[in-house]
Structures are given as structure tokens and as C-alpha cells.
């Protein structure tokens, strides 16, 4: 099976770099990046769908993007980075699920390669072949 394609949406350069490196450490090299939902939308329009969108610090303020992502079918899974006990993170994941996105989980802030790896493995097990050829 080929590597997953992941779109990371994060506005803070240090966090974006960290997420990119964490994905590489998990064996994911098909990583695209966007600094905000508008750039993510353009990336999806230009380069096509991805297997997973990893949403960083803007997930709680981008509920309309999550709705559009679910409606378009341009991603099979979603990972939200944040604190699980945070009401905004909980609201974003609930909204994404209600819209029909498969929320793989909430990735804690900081060095969280193990939880990320577990989410990616779960995705690979449940999706026989990724969306993208």
C-alpha cells in the first residue's frame, strides 16, 4: 500500500513544521500544507483530494470549512489537534462528525507521534485502499 496523502492546515509555522515532521516519522511523505482553510480549499481544488486532513489550531474557528469538506468528499478522515477537554475542540469534532467526516481523533499538543501513528494505522486498517490512486 502506498503512503497516505495528508493535508495539514496550520497557521503557525513552528507547529506546521512539527506536524510535518511527525507525519514523516510515521512514514507519511505525501504531505501538503496550508496556512488556513482558504489555502486548504485552493490546494484541494488544484491538487485533488487527500486521505486525511490534519487540522491544527484553526479547527475551532473553521466549522464552515469542515462542513464543506464533508460535503465535497475530498477527504476520508480528519484529525484535529488540540486538547480533548477543550470545549472548542469538542465542538469542532462533534460538528465534523455530524457533517459526516470520519474523525480519527484529537491529537494532543506537543510531541505526540505515538497517538498520531495509532490514528494513521487505524485509518489504514479500516480503509482497504486510500481514496487517491
Indicate the pLDDT class of residue 48, thresholds 50, 70 and 90: very high
**132 inside domain:** no
Tell me the pLDDT band of 92, cut-offs 50, 70 and 90: confident
- Which helix or strand (DSSP H or E) is residue 27 part of? none
Dihedral (Cα; 84, 90, 111, 43), 10-degree rounding = 170
103-124 pLDDT, tens digit per residue, is 999 988 776 688 999 999 989 8
Q: Which residues of 21-34 are buried (b: 16+ CB within 10 A; e: fewer)?
A: ebbeebebeebbbb
Task: Report CA 8 to chain centroid distance, whole Å.
Answer: 6
DSSP annotation of 4:
P
Q: Which residue has the higher pLDDT, 59 or 118?
A: 118
CATH number assigned to the domain comprising residue 80: 3.40.50.2300
For position 104, what pLDDT does the model report? 94
Name the burial class of residue 56, with classes exposed (0-12), middle (13-18) and buried (19+) by CB atoms within 10 angstroms of its CB.
buried
pTM: 0.88
Q: 93 lies in which domain range?
A: 5-126
Q: How many domains does the chain have?
A: 1
Q: Which of 22, 20, 6 is closest to 124 using CA atoms?
A: 6
CA distances for 121 relative to 26, 27, 88, angstroms: 9, 11, 26
Residue 131 lies in a domain: no
Asked whether residue 109 is domain-assigned, the answer is: yes
pLDDT band at 63 (very low <50, low <70, confident <90, very high): confident
Is residue 115 in some structural domain? yes
Could you tell me how far CA 70 lies from the centroid of its own chain? Answer: 12
Amino acid at each position: 500500500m502506498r503512503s497516505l496523502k495528508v493535508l495539514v492546515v496550520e497557521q503557525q509555522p513552528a507547529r506546521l513544521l512539527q506536524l510535518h515532521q511527525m507525519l514523516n516519522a510515521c512514514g507519511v511523505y505525501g504531505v501538503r500544507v496550508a496556512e488556513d482553510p482558504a489555502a486548504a480549499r485552493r490546494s484541494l481544488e488544484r491538487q485533488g483530494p487527500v486521505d486525511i486532513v490534519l487540522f491544527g489550531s484553526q479547527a475551532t474557528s473553521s466549522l464552515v470549512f469542515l462542513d464543506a469538506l464533508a460535503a465535497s468528499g475530498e477527504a476520508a478522515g480528519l484529525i484535529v489537534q488540540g486538547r480533548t477537554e477543550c470545549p472548542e475542540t469538542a465542538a469542532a469534532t462533534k460538528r465534523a462528525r455530524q457533517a459526516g467526516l470520519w474523525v480519527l481523533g484529537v491529537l494532543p499538543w506537543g510531541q505526540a507521534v505515538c497517538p498520531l501513528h495509532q490514528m494513521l494505522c487505524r485509518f489504514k486498517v479500516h480503509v482497504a485502499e486510500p481514496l487517491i490512486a
